[in-house]
Structure 1
Amino acid sequence: MPYEAAYERIARELRDRIVSGQLKPGDRLPSLSQLKAEYGVSDTVIRNVMLILKTEGLTEGRAGSGVFVRDRD
């Protein structure tokens, strides 16, 4: 199996949760600190994950509120 960087693996896992409906439009993603603790990675890794999901149109940040799953309509 080819090497998969931590940020790629975490982005894939969160993407799968969004696509499968486990995380629905409007749901708030776990906070940066929660994701860091869950996956045992740095701020930089989680920020890269959030950037990937935002670039793919799956999430949106709301100032002071967090990161949420976007409606895909």
Structure 2
Amino acid sequence: MLTTNERPFDGGTLVVTNVPTEKCDCDEQILLGDSALMAGYARLLADSKIIGNVTVSFDDLQQKFSVQDFMSKSVKPS
């Protein structure tokens, strides 16, 4: 299944469309890695002082960025 996820950031709202979800009992959940990718992009928008609503498809976001792009440079993945 696919859903739309909205995340507020300083200056606006990030709207990510076509986010994959997993059905769990009677609830839909976004995978942790996918959620982290969207949170990292929202932080990038805030840090870049972007103002307004930004809409992007999850596929486009995933093609241009990875979770590692938003990790602190002092954190080394295992």
**Larger proportion of helix:** 1
| TM value normalised by structure 2 | 0.29
Tell me which structure has the larger Cα radius of gyration.
Answer: 2
What TM-score do the two structures reach when normalised by structure 1? 0.30
**Greater fraction strand:** 2
